[in-house]
Amino acid sequence: MHELSIAMSIVDIASRKADEASAEKVTLVELDIGIMSGIEFISLEFALSVAVKDSILEGTRFKINRIEPLCECSSCNHLYTPGQDFGACPECGKQEIEFIRGKELQIKSLLIDQKE
C-alpha cells in the first residue's frame, strides 16, 4: 500500500505550490502516472481521497493521466510498445529493452482559485 505514501507526497507538494500561489482553493490537480511506475491506480485514487483530509485539497478533483509504456531497443533504436512478456525487439530480435515512457510519477499542474 505504498500508494498512500505517494498520495501524501502529492498532497504535500500540491499544498505547498497552492500556498505559494496564494490559492484560496484548488479545483484540479493533474497527474502523469506511468502504467509501469508500480502504482495501482484504484489504490492511488482511494489513497488520495484519504490523504486530502484537512488539507487545501479537500474536495479537489484529481485528473490522472495514465501514460502507456513505450520502449526503445538499445540495439537498433526501434520504438515499440512492450507486451506482457517483455519480448524481444520486433525489428531486430535483440533483447535490449529500455523504457522511455511509462514510468512517470509527476504532478503536472494545478488549477487554483486565487485570493482577491
> Rule CB under 8 A: which residues touch another protein?
1-2, 4-6, 8-10, 12-14, 17-18, 21, 24, 27, 31, 36-39, 45-54, 58-62, 74, 84-88, 95-97, 99, 105-116
Q: Give the C-alpha separation, 18 to 110, whole Å.
A: 8
Q: Which H or E run contains 13?
A: helix 3-20
Question: Between residues 47 and 67, which has the closer beta carbon with respect to another protein?
Answer: 47
Beta-carbon contacts of residue 13 (< 8 Å; ≥ 6 apart): 107
SS3 assignment, position 28: strand
In order of 16, 32, 33, 39, 53, the CA distances from 66 in angstroms are 24, 6, 5, 10, 24
Q: How far is the CB of 90 from another protein (least distance, A)?
A: 14
Amino acid sitting at position 23: A
Q: How far is the CB of 89 from another protein (least distance, A)?
A: 11
Question: Between residues 18 and 67, which has the closer beta carbon with respect to another protein?
Answer: 18
Question: Between residues 45 and 91, which has the closer beta carbon with respect to another protein?
Answer: 45
Question: Between residues 87 and 90, which has the closer beta carbon with respect to another protein?
Answer: 87
Amino acid sitting at position 81: T
